Structure 1
Amino acid sequence: MFGAPCWVSLMARDLEASQRFYGAVAGWTFRPARLGSAFSVAVLDGVPVAGIGALAGDLAVAVAWTPYFAVDDVDVAAARIRERVGTVAVGPVSFPGGGRAALVADPDGAVFGIWQGPVSAGWRVGRGSSPAWLELRTRNAFDAALFYGEVLEWATGRAGCCEVSYEEEQVVLRQGGEPVARLDSGPVEVGAYTPHTRPRWHVHFRVPELDPAVEAALDLGGRTVSVVTSDGRERSIMLRDPDGALFTLTERIGEAGEEGAD
């Protein structure tokens, strides 16, 4: 697998506080990660969902959810990012178990990660306990698709590559024919302070029932950023956790949402 999302991770300040919040909101339990005491892995129904690393303060970076994309060679991918006016902020660095990673940003400043190495069995956006959806909110989705396509080898014709299509005014990334991410053009500002207006990758997590999850988030210091919206198939709301990390919760509606469920 290459070019596809392979993990999401929260860069947090306080590991225990983040675990309490997301455990109550999303029903996750946690186990230690192999990366050290500052890291844990969120688990739902016995399947790894996401990572939390309490390194935001040490690395002087914003508290945020970050998607990682699989690459064959992290050094080659990092070089492609630099050549295309992106930024390599951290790494590439090696991790236990043979993996190598880098924390990077596209030319508009949207942060993401690249990962070379084994990936969690059963983890795939849109399936089971994995995140429901990834979304890039950027100035120009077509320009972004060119950048990511060249860096991550999307739509190259190489066997196993992700495909890209234009659907309903969005660039859609597909893995094995199934949608895993959207690239949206919208009202964002490069360098803007407000998290809503900065180009960014955004993670959508599915919950069984939206209203109790939102209530739990508010009780533990989270804040709503949007009203609840519905497209007839899903109800969704954007929130910030107590440290300010943005994410969306989404709930399937009735039988329409059961199609394609694992």
Structure 2
Amino acid sequence: MTGSDPRTAPSAAPLTGSAAPCWVTLMTRDLPSAQRFYSEVLGWSFRPGHLGAEFSVARRGDIPVAGIFAVSTAYQVAVAWTPYFSVADADVAAARVRERSGTVAVGPLTLGKGRGVLASDRDGAAFGLWERIEPSTSPPAPDGHAHAWLRLRTRNAFDAAIFYGEVLDWASGRPGCCDVAYEGDEVIVRCEGRPLARISSGAVEAAVDPVVRPHWQVQFPVDDVPVTVAAAERQGGSLVEERSALGGREATLRDPDGALFTVTDLRGPVGTES
């Protein structure tokens, strides 16, 4: 299964609401090379994590934004960015994934300040679950903005919304839960009043192209998409697709190790008014 590893799970989470997207991680084969690439392209700095020499935490200023974990090339693990969702109980959430024909690949495992799970939905899109055990000591994102937002490209957005809603208690009315709204042919996920994820139909499960297969797309906000694309290409990355989207621009890039990610000048996953 394509995905990251729960050992890269967060030491800090931008959102505390139950089932909110809380962290993103990159599984890579060469940690120093990945650090150089993302430092030049996204302006991140890096500090060692608490999980060993092969793990580091990316920061924007003093704010943790992502985890990067290197694995030996002896392991047949796909290089990929993976989102994590905050849950109240990792065991309960993992059981719900299995009950709804998803797959739990790893966990729940106790890691640092929480418990992590690596899973995939029934269409094969990889994601993580994170149960925080100890409170976060890191500051929130400035001005209440997220460091990244998410888009799920899936076979059927409405079926996927039901799956994640049942696993993560979306639209349950519980304190801190995320809400969903059907807007045209997409589903918008709002957490603590802010849109943080979008679910779109049209992915093809058997597609050779990983961009077309069901997957969670991690989107990082940047000031200038063409400038960021040029920086990525100078550092050995490549442009997969650049397009207009929701009143702005976004580009899907491949880093030198093969991981796909998206940069966008939008302020949120549903357009410039987010």
With normalisation by structure 1, the TM-score equals: 0.89
Structure 1 residue runs of 4 or more that deviate by more than 3 Å after TM superposition: 56-59, 118-129, 257-260
**1:92 counterpart (108, 118, 135):** 108
Q: How does 1:194-209 map to 2 (within 5 A)?
A: 194-209=209-224
The verdict on how the C-alpha distance between 1:43 and 1:166 changes in structure 2, with shifts beyond 3 A counting, is same
Q: Distance in 1 between matches of 2:141 and 2:178?
A: 13
2:250 maps to which residue? Answer: 236
C-alpha displacement at 1:209, in angstroms?
2.5
Contact 1:56/1:62 (CA < 8 Å) preserved in 2? no
User: Which ranges of structure 2 fall in alignment gaps of 5 or more residues?
Assistant: 1-16
C-alpha displacement at 1:92, in angstroms?
1.2
1:46 maps to which residue? Answer: 62
C-alpha displacement at 1:212, in angstroms?
2.4
**1:130 counterpart (135, 140, 147):** 147
Q: Deviations over 1:195-247 (max 9, x none)?
A: 11210000111122222221111011111111342543x32111111111111
2:208 maps to which residue? Answer: 193
Q: How does 1:241-256 map to 2 (within 5 A)?
A: 241-252=255-266
2:14 maps to which residue? Answer: none
Q: How many aligned positions are there?
A: 253
User: Which ranges of structure 1 fall in alignment gaps of 5 or more residues?
Assistant: none
**1:19 counterpart (24, 35, 51):** 35
The verdict on how the C-alpha distance between 1:191 and 1:258 changes in structure 2, with shifts beyond 3 A counting, is closer
C-alpha displacement at 1:122, in angstroms?
4.4
1:108 aligns with 2:98: no
1:225 aligns with 2:240: yes
The verdict on how the C-alpha distance between 1:75 and 1:231 changes in structure 2, with shifts beyond 3 A counting, is closer
Q: Distance in 2 between matches of 1:125 and 1:152?
A: 26
Q: Distance in 1 between matches of 2:143 and 2:189?
A: 12
The verdict on how the C-alpha distance between 1:176 and 1:58 changes in structure 2, with shifts beyond 3 A counting, is farther
2:231 maps to which residue? Answer: 216
1:60 aligns with 2:76: yes
Letter in 2 for 1:52: I
C-alpha displacement at 1:168, in angstroms?
3.3
Q: Distance in 1 between matches of 2:217 and 2:245?
A: 18
Q: Deviations over 1:167-214 (max 9, x none)?
A: 13210000122101001001x222433211210000111122222221
With normalisation by structure 2, the TM-score equals: 0.85
Structure 1 range deviating more: 111-120 or 218-227: 111-120
